[in-house]
A = this chain, B = another copy of it.
Amino acid sequence: MAGCEHCALGGGHALCVQRVPLFSTLSGEELAHVASLIRHDHFEKGEALYREGDLLDSLLIIHHGSAKAVRLTPDGREQILYLFSTGDFLGERNLFGGHAATCTVEALEAVQVCAFTREAFRTLLYAYPGISVKVIEELETRIARLEDAMQTIGVRSVDGRVGALLLGFAQKYGSATPEGTLIHLPLSREGLANYLGIARETVSRKLGQLEAEGAIRAVGSRGILLLNPAALAEAAGASS
């Protein structure tokens, strides 16, 4: 059986399928079956996992690395819609309706993915009905994330957006230190700008301002130390 090589490698390495909430209801034996259906792929930084308009025929699970889902706006800029990292899955949008991909997904760093073909996944759905419910739940989660993002982008002042973004990143990419939470940003300033829908320069200025206020401290170009989360939360909550 063509198992998941990545998963087989490295000592206490868990099966990649175990990392996906989708399969959390399955037994070890079933997981092994699922894993046997997996094939692999690898992308370098900057490479596209797929592009807007592609007709995907696989479900992708990010085994290691991170990626951004972007969409080109009519005026030529790009809007980042999601950030994916280890354990997230994508491509589910295209498995059923036969729709073309609605956004381009590009690797932010080297990315290893585990993939199911459409057929393999459909087989799974019939074999393990519980997965359907999991898919639905996962989609609901993604909707919730989008709703949050939309509320953030749509209404809050720019200060608030920046604050909310940093707090969000702190949970996802942060690690606790004696001084506060250290965030390793997954994006450049330009990336942050595209995520927030504002100009690059504005990101710089807002971060500079927050640093001047003592709420954060820059650590290299991709590191931010959260000194005063409460100040950010306040910015995120108040209109100015």
Contacts and interface: CB of A to CB of B under 8 A. Distances in A.
A96 B197 contact: no
Contact of A136 (B74, B103, B135, B155): B135
Interface stretch (A37-45, A110-118, A141-149, A167-175): A141-149
A229 interface: no
A11 interface: no
Given A136-B135, A139-B139, A147 B81 contact: yes
Number of this chain's copies in the assembly equals 2
A75 interface: yes
A133 interface: yes
B132 A136 contact: yes
Contact of A238 (B75, B99, B137): B75
Residue from A81, A93, A150 whose CB has the most chain B CB atoms within 10 Å? A150
A12 interface: no
**Per DSSP, are chain A's interface residues mostly helix, strand or loop, or mixed?**
helix
Most chain B CB neighbours (cut-off 10 Å) among A140, A144, A153: A140
A51 interface: no
A129 interface: yes
Interface string A176-217: 000000000000000000001100000000000000000000
Contacts of A136: 96, 132, 135-136, 139
A154 B153 contact: yes
A233 to B, nearest CB: 9
A143 B144 contact: no
Contact of A103 (B77, B132, B147, B157): B147
A97 B140 contact: yes
A230 to B, nearest CB: 14
Of all A-B residue pairs in the complex, the 4 with the closest CB atoms, nearest first, are A154-B197, A75-B239, A74-B237, A132-B132
Given A75-B238, A153-B153, 13 more contacts: A71-B147, A76-B239, A81-B151, A99-B140, A132-B136, A136-B139, A139-B139, A139-B140, A143-B143, A146-B146, A146-B147, A153-B197, A154-B154
